Structure 1
């Protein structure tokens, strides 16, 4: 890789941190007064969306969304959102996609340690320490409480951003257990391209451009029980894996 190209990528990465020095206090900070009561969460959620959409725009990303038969999600329903996970930009994409469905993310507890952002993150989302069993059990309870208060939930079933060499990591069961227990439909998304355009590692790779996203049909859990959890998990894993492979074939074809 040429030195000029590496220099551009490093400057572009630095730009990401620079704009968030401004965007986090602006959008996330403005949401703070609305985070203390559930009935105002939809206002806080709007500010979170502005933060996410501003990031995508200023970093030079735009997405093309493909839906199966143009399925429209019911804005009066709750959903469990799942997706493959390869970058922090996945969070911003989900915020942008789910405009009419205020949701909370289940994410790493480590992010709560960040100055200022950590406070907003902690108030807005559910934090999990996967090394702590009691934390995982408490998170499961918190998710149910959020659902009971009318919010949708987003979980990345890979359990975090996997090593870049892993195409799609094994799914954990939490998202599927919650969906079955609460009888909430699952909406799987497949996000392509961001793994190469804004990878978590190495930081000398990436660049702005188009992100392809597939919104799959929502999957009903109305007639499922917890004994169907593994079947549901495998179904969603295969669905996303197949679509990622399809996106990859399309990219290779277009590059040739």
Structure 2
């Protein structure tokens, strides 16, 4: 039985690679003409969303969204933050933020991937965390993107933490930008992906439901940089407590 289960997971993972051999060139390719001028970026963003939603559907994932009652302003930008466990987190954020074209702040290594790397680099902001000058330049690029009307998604853990880490310490970047530019933060808590599509093992996982909580936006209008650590702590605790709630719900459901 164990061998059959592992075989299924390996085939399922191979399916992910196969579909993206076709999806990435198609959706990324048709978006390229719209990446060179900011006014056309919403069109390119729609294609990025189609790539993300196609991946989720074809991999057998569906999400159940719980959200605090709030109507987001379509004309406002936001800093989106979330816990980070897998590449699927990116696809989920694309799918959820349909009315707010955004850019991701991601690892510079992604630019080395053939074809996808070009589109990712052109669409998003790449950071080499080992290079101080790169980090400084990134803050300037983020501010430029915000000034051009885009929202920004930053995973404050700074990458996918080790499987043993429940929620890694948050870095300062997202909160610095939100305060400097006076942009509200939208925290997301994503559950289940850590076990359904883990980054550190291709022999685990499987399709199924993903639970997501979209928290109420947090205003930075009256904050200064001296409030940065308090804001970071508030967001960390918000996501941590929701993850713990998701875990309790999962345990309780398994009892029945």
| TM surpasses 0.5 | yes
Task: Work out the CA distance in 2 between the residues paired with 1:37 and 1:220.
Answer: 30
Give the equivalent residue in structure 2 for 1:21.
21
Q: Matched residues in 1 for 2:73 and 2:13: separation? A: 37
Q: CA deviation at 1:77?
A: 0.7
1:59 aligns with 2:66: no
Aligned to 1:82: 81
**Aligned partners of 1:106, 1:29: CA distance in 2, in Å?**
21
How far apart are 1:203 and its partner, in Å?
Answer: 1.2
1:210 is paired with a residue whose SS is strand
* Superposed CA offset, 1:165-223 (max 9, x none): 00000000000000000000000000000000000011111000000000001000000
Partner of 1:214: 213
- Quote the residue 1:153 is aligned against: 152
Residues 1:50 and 2:47 are matched in the alignment: no
Which residue number in structure 2 is paired with residue 105 of structure 1? 104
The Cα RMSD (Å) is 0.6
Give the TM-score of the pair, scaled to structure 2. Answer: 0.99
Structure 1 residue runs without a partner (length 5+) = none
Structure 1 residue 116: deviation in Å?
0.4
- Displacement of 1:72 in angstroms is 2.0
* TM-score (norm: length of structure 1): 0.99
Gaps of 5+ in 2: none
Partners in 1 of 2:120 and 2:242 — Cα distance? 31
- 1-structure distance, mates of 2:12, 2:71: 35
Q: Secondary structure at the match of 1:87?
A: coil
Q: Does 1:191 align with 2:190?
A: yes
Name the counterpart of 2:228: 229
The CA distance in 1 between the partners of 2:28 and 2:163, in whole Å, is: 30
CA deviations over 1:25-56 (Å, ceiling 9, x no partner) = 11111100000000000000000000000000
Aligned pairs, number: 255
Stretches of 4+ aligned residues off by more than 3 angstroms: none
Structure 1 residue 125 corresponds to structure 2 residue 137: no
